[in-house]
Amino acid sequence: MSFFTLSAGALNGLLLGGLYAVCALGFSLIFGVMGLMNVVHGELLVLGAYLCFFISRALGVDPFIATIAVAAILFAVGWLLQWFVFNPVMQRGIEPALLSAFGLSIIAQSLFLFYWTTNTRSINARYSQTGVQVFNIHLPVMYLISFGLALVLAAGAHLFMTRTYFGKATRAATQDPETAQVMGINVKRVYAFTYALAAAIAALGGTLIGMTFSFVPSSGLTWMLKGFVIVVLGGMGNIAGTLAGALLLGAVEGVGGAILGTGYHDLIGLVIILLVLVARPTGLLGRAR
Amino acid sequence: MSLLELRNVTKQFGAVVAVSAVSASIEEGETLGVMGPNGSGKTTLLNLIMGVYPMDGGQMRFAGKEIGGLTTDVISRKGIGRTFQIPQPFLKMTVLENVVVGDVYGGGHRSVRAARSRGMEILEKVSLATKAGLEARQLGLLDLKRLELAKVLSLRPRLLLLDETAAGLVEAEVSQLQGLILELKKSGLTILIIEHVLSVIFGLSDRIMVLNFGQKVVEAPPAAISENRRVHEIYLGAKKAEKGHVRAKEAPEVRKPPGSLLSVKHVNSGYGDFQVLFDVSMEVPKGDIVGLIGVNGSGKSTLIRTITRQIPLKAGEIDFNGKNISEARPFDMAALGIAQCIEGRKLFPELTVEENLEIGAYCARARQMRNTTLKEVYDLFPKLLDRRWQVVSTLSGGEQQMVAIGRALMARPELIMFDELSLGLAPIVIDDLYKAIEKINELGTTIILVEQNVHRSLEVVNRAYIIERGRIVLSGPADELMRNDHVKEAYFGL
Amino acid sequence: MSAARTYAQWVLLALLAAALIAAPQVFDRYTVFLLYLLWLNVALAQSWNLLAGYAGLISLGVSGFFGIGAYTAGMTIAHLGFPFLLGAFLGGLLSAVFAAIVATPIFRFRGIYFAIGTLILSEALRIFMINWKFTGSAEGLNMPLESGASSATYYYVMLCVAAGSTLLVVAILKTRLGMGLRALGNNESSAQNMGVNTFKTKLWAFLFAAFVTGVAGGVHASKMGSIEPYSIFNTMWTLSTANMVIIGGIGTILGPILGSIFVLALGELLADYQTFHLAITGVLLILIIRFIPAGIWGEIRASRWARRIMGAAR
């Protein structure tokens, strides 16, 4: 096990972490703002991937261009989901919302299966399978693009939360929904917007997944769990933390994968998270909810 | 050997010392009452005894054995039973089953069947036998309180820790409950009771311990406590008369235009089955400062939250500016022109001073004037200008209260309701805040001031309402109330 | 309750038992297989219900324990030549041991973290088993078919597991443990104040659920004849179990049974539209959570109609 292999693994993993960050950001926002564990987030990502696949094919455009349309569609879907499925059960504790999300997950997976079958898909662009050589290490272009996008997205989300009035209102509603209500903030709308935004971000995540890997109707679960791992590592709703957690996960997986073999790649994150939760039952950085 | 012995028990939450080196002992068969204003550490002390969280210092001995560090279930099984201020029944289990749980785990019966028959005996004692088959969630408040006692008895305890059992009950119910506890006392049980309803605690206790800011201030038999000047000070607030001349505000009926800004008419409200307010009426003239005075648990905060429509009305009507707002929702308040400065400050902890203030101006009406209002707030509280980029959780109590007031002002309201402004603050800080409030009122804002501290309040308000156990018992112009001996009686309840 | 009524109840029960026993002789193979699946689901549902419906612990790890049971049975049958009943029993045992090991850390997780923690455990197990060469990794295992084990045998065995788990849950609820479970499910801190050692109580329920789930997995593995990680450790087992309990009526004894019947019947009705069947179940789940959280049986039980029919029997 040479140092070179390890560092190659770490570097690739770090960049891949950027992709993870994009996929996990929406999940983190929803968890942070509303305390809702969005177990259907994986299906939102997969939906984004499918829509991008078909739209970019139908219109003959680059997948990233198609993503704009997909994001708009998912924004609307997200708003409707929060408004009609989650908002009504929010006050009843965590379980109803969690189980409803599971219901959505089942529905989504069966619809995917029905319309789009079990064929493995991936989104192809001219550049999606190419890579660059840096210090003799092969870095896939998609990894680099994802990393860049992750930074941009994180910065954008941070600015939104701290500079815009609505972003501040969202943070207020997160910390104390009741008081925020009395200040005139329509907390229900804040929640709907947050979910919609998270879904739109998931659209981008789906595109990245589709271009970097492949996907089938049941791919969602693995990605959702990665999101959970990242949120526990980095703190829910904490944008910088989510980015850091994602990069960390990517790097650790990269190194671990180099040592143990690729099959155990996904297992590493799960084991780590179990250990972390044992040590700190409410996560590393985030507030206890 | 005392049954319960506490020595220098201390507990800190972050920077706040909730309980500070409290020592006490209770002999078998005795009843020790614990009194103190909101936040004095009474419930924390109870929680420490029950092992809800660990102590930061000191020792606790029960029947000679150290219990510090043990978990709640172990302590319960040793024979200490604890009731909660808001009853914590097993809602979806029947009344009888509620009583069986304690018996099979702590009371000595391992068989559910045997526990059932003993359970019925206990229910007879608390007059709940006829309701044995009902689910706990179907019970009314008094019955729930009886069930709390029954549950605790099922443990066969040697020591009872009772936390504000009378809270929320009406007079007749309180005396029933008091009678029940008296019988338990006569049967030889040792009791530690926390109470705000003074007639109850004075009637049951052999000795009373008074806490303030986590420290034991005095411990004596009830008669001595009721005469004790320090206790009076803690509850009623030091009269400024000690330092100078007391001057109550004159009711300025001549100068200000008539007409109520806010009318509360015969309002009943509460939480679910728990009724808190009974036929409450209040008139707040435009431009006045109106006080709402009462002890903890009397319903003051509930009234405020009812006005802001956070609590549904069971009966009655609320009018603001001539319009009926009974159907309004909480987030209409800002647009209507009603702001509240809530008990416990309730700032958004991780936002900065300026961000908290800005959020105050969220509603459309206030948003346009945001920058002007912001300047006005900083003029009123120059200290905040220095700290505008600081996250509010790092500010002192007094500064946080300023932010809370400022935030309420940002909504450019016609009416501001201040709930327990002086909680946990030093007298000098309170002086500054009260000066600010008077200034705000001079500039035209109507104010409702909720306070426990009677004298402070009467110095600044035009008129006041005294509320006790959800009912308005006394009202009138401040100068009249100031001279009124009944204020002391109605308030102190002796 | 009148003597006539008790007598009538016993007669009905006896008839029901007779019908259940006679079923394999009367119905065709496919129906018997369906009924077998029904018993399998009832077994999983009852044990999940004890945890979720009474103790308030939502476990999303059913597939993990199911898989452990299946593989234990599979390995002992295939490599050690154990009879399938023994294999299934060992499956339950190993499942319970695993539960005991993870209980200490996992019970520290509060609320939602517990649910996700169990989900992660199962997922981790799944990924691990896909890679573990010792158990055949992705290709799985093949077991020799037991000569005497016809589909009727599996039917009866699973019926016993289902009946056993139902009766055990009923029994547990009548004991001290049952009281403690229900108490902590209602109000954990109040339960502690009543002297309930919540950790130990939760542990017993958890072990029970793991055992039953493991045995069911073991029997199923043997019936299938060959198993592989993708289907045995599939989260669908968890989702369908939760589904059946919630739709049928969480926190009741009859609820899981009714829910299992309902969902399986629905599946048969929509057999031509396989994928819609799943989607509809999902929609049902959401609607039930939103509008009738007590589930079908829960609502029936609470309705005045039912109270009149069953009289003041308590």
pLDDT > 70 in chain A, percent: 96
In angstroms, the CA A8 to CA A138 distance is 8
Q: Which chain A residues are Cβ-neighbours of B419 within 8 angstroms?
A: none
Residue B198 banded pLDDT, cuts 50, 70, 90: confident
Contact B362 A185 (CB under 8 A): yes
The C-alpha of A139 sits at a distance from chain C's nearest C-alpha, in angstroms, of 26
CB contact at 8 A, B201 and B147: no
Contact B362 A184 (CB under 8 A): yes
pLDDT given at position C306: 59
Contact A103 C286 (CB under 8 A): yes
Contact A106 C289 (CB under 8 A): no
The C-alpha of C300 sits at a distance from chain A's nearest C-alpha, in angstroms, of 20
The enclosing H or E element of A183 equals none
Which phi-psi region, left, alpha or beta, contains residue A271 (left: φ > 0; alpha: ψ -120 to 50)?
A: alpha
SS3 B270: strand
- Residue B297 vs residue B281, higher pLDDT: B281
pLDDT given at position B235: 66
**Nearest residue, CB atoms, C183 vs list B76, B82, B101:** B101
Mean pLDDT of B76-88: 91
CB contact at 8 A, A114 and C275: yes
Contact C195 B84 (CB under 8 A): no
Asked whether residue C42 carries a pLDDT value surpassing 90, the answer given is: yes
- Residue B243 vs residue C51, higher pLDDT: C51
Exposure string of C234-260, with b = 16+ CB inside 10 Å and e = fewer, is bbbbbbbbbbbbbbbbbbbbbbbbbbb
The C-alpha of B69 sits at a distance from chain C's nearest C-alpha, in angstroms, of 15
Q: Considering only CB atoms, which residues of chain A are within 8 Å of chain B? A: 165, 168-169, 171-172, 175-176, 178-187
The C-alpha of B348 sits at a distance from chain A's nearest C-alpha, in angstroms, of 6
Asked whether residue A288 carries a pLDDT value surpassing 60, the answer given is: no
Report yes or no: A278 at the C interface, CB cutoff 8 Å.
yes
pLDDT given at position B25: 92
Which phi-psi region, left, alpha or beta, contains residue B470 (left: φ > 0; alpha: ψ -120 to 50)?
A: left
Asked whether residue B448 carries a pLDDT value surpassing 80, the answer given is: yes
- The torsion defined by the Cα of B391, B392, B393 and B397, in degrees rounded to 10, comes to 150
Mean pLDDT of A249-254: 89
Report yes or no: C197 at the B interface, CB cutoff 8 Å.
yes
Q: What is the pLDDT of residues C186-232, one digit of tens each?
A: 999 899 999 999 999 999 999 999 999 999 999 999 888 888 888 88
The C-alpha of C279 sits at a distance from chain A's nearest C-alpha, in angstroms, of 4
Q: Which chain A residues are Cβ-neighbours of B332 within 8 angstroms?
A: 184
Disruptive mutation site among A91, A107, A253, A284 for chain C (greatest number of C CBs within 10 Å): A107
Contact C191 B90 (CB under 8 A): yes
SS3 B228: coil
Maximum CA extent, chain B: 76
Contact A168 B355 (CB under 8 A): yes
Average pLDDT, chain B: 84
Distances (CA, A) of B55 to A226, B66, B82, B191, B206: 39, 12, 18, 22, 27
Residue C65 banded pLDDT, cuts 50, 70, 90: very high
The encoded tokens of residue B427 equal: 């007298």
Q: Which chain C residues are Cβ-neighbours of B89 within 8 angstroms?
A: 186-187, 190
Q: What one-letter code names the amino acid at B280? A: V
Contact A179 B349 (CB under 8 A): no
Asked whether residue C100 carries a pLDDT value surpassing 90, the answer given is: yes
Q: Which chain C residues are Cβ-neighbours of A85 within 8 angstroms?
A: 286, 290
Query: DSSP code of B106?
Result: I
Residue A118 has a CB neighbour count (10 Å cut-off) of 9
Q: Which chain C residues are Cβ-neighbours of B79 within 8 angstroms?
A: none
How wide is the angle at C-alpha B291 spanned by C-alphas B288 and B297, nearest 5°?
Answer: 155
- Residue C135 vs residue C100, higher pLDDT: C100
Q: Which chain A residues are Cβ-neighbours of C123 within 8 angstroms?
A: 221-222, 225, 270
Mean pLDDT of B422-430: 75
Q: What is the pLDDT of residues B237-255, one digit of tens each?
A: 554 433 333 444 544 444 4
The encoded tokens of residue A66 equal: 């198609």
Contact B363 A182 (CB under 8 A): no
Q: What is the pLDDT of residues B177-192, one digit of tens each?
A: 888 899 999 988 999 9
**Nearest residue, CB atoms, A184 vs list B335, B355, B358:** B335
Query: Among candidates C44, C32, C30, which has minimal Cα distance to C244?
Result: C44
Q: How far is CA B43 from the centre of its chain?
A: 12
Phi and psi dihedrals of B103, rounded to 5?
-65, -45
Contact C179 B155 (CB under 8 A): no
In angstroms, the CA C265 to CA C59 distance is 25
Size of interface B-C (CB pairs under 8 A): 81
Residue C307 banded pLDDT, cuts 50, 70, 90: low
A47 Cβ contact partners less than 8 Å away, ≥ 6 residues apart: A74, A77, A108, A112, A202, A206
Contact C285 A109 (CB under 8 A): no
Query: Among candidates B127, B149, B151, B147, which has minimal Cα distance to B139?
Result: B147
**Nearest residue, CB atoms, A99 vs list C116, C246, C278:** C246
Contact C112 A37 (CB under 8 A): yes
Q: What is the DSSP string of A69-114?
A: HHHHHHHHHHHHIIIIIIGGGGGG-HHHHHHHHHHHHHHHHHHHHH
Nearest CA in chain B to A175: B348
- Residue B66 vs residue B485, higher pLDDT: B66
pLDDT > 90 in chain B, percent: 28
Nearest CA in chain A to B355: A168
Contact A94 C278 (CB under 8 A): no
Q: How far is CA C115 from the centre of its chain?
A: 17
pLDDT given at position C81: 82
In angstroms, the CA B324 to CA B172 distance is 34
pLDDT given at position B213: 83
The C-alpha of A38 sits at a distance from chain C's nearest C-alpha, in angstroms, of 11
Is residue B206 exposed (0-12), middle (13-18) or buried (19+ Cβ within 10 Å)? middle
Question: C-contacting residues of A 53-82, CB under 8 Å?
Answer: none
pLDDT given at position C313: 47
Contact B348 A172 (CB under 8 A): yes
**Nearest residue, CB atoms, A104 vs list C108, C117, C286:** C286
Nearest CA in chain A to C52: A95
pLDDT given at position B4: 92
Contact B331 A182 (CB under 8 A): yes
Mean pLDDT of B128-147: 88
**Nearest residue, CB atoms, B331 vs list A168, A172, A184:** A184
Mean pLDDT of B132-156: 89
Residue B242 has a CB neighbour count (10 Å cut-off) of 9
Nearest CA in chain B to C53: B92
Disruptive mutation site among C174, C182, C189, C194 for chain B (greatest number of B CBs within 10 Å): C194
Contact C124 A270 (CB under 8 A): yes
Mean pLDDT of C115-122: 89
The encoded tokens of residue B77 equal: 């099984």
**Nearest residue, CB atoms, C105 vs list A99, A103, A278:** A278
**Nearest residue, CB atoms, B77 vs list C182, C195, C251:** C195
Sheet bearing B16-26, strands edge to edge: B16-26, B4-13, B57-62, B65-66
pLDDT given at position B253: 43
SS3 A124: coil
Nearest CA in chain A to B410: A183
Query: DSSP code of B271?
Result: E
Q: Which chain B residues are Cβ-neighbours of C186 within 8 angstroms?
A: 89-93
Q: Which chain C residues are Cβ-neighbours of A219 within 8 angstroms?
A: none
Disruptive mutation site among A182, A188, A191, A238 for chain B (greatest number of B CBs within 10 Å): A182
pLDDT given at position A83: 93
Q: What is the pLDDT of residues A265-287, one digit of tens each?
A: 788 888 887 887 777 765 555 44
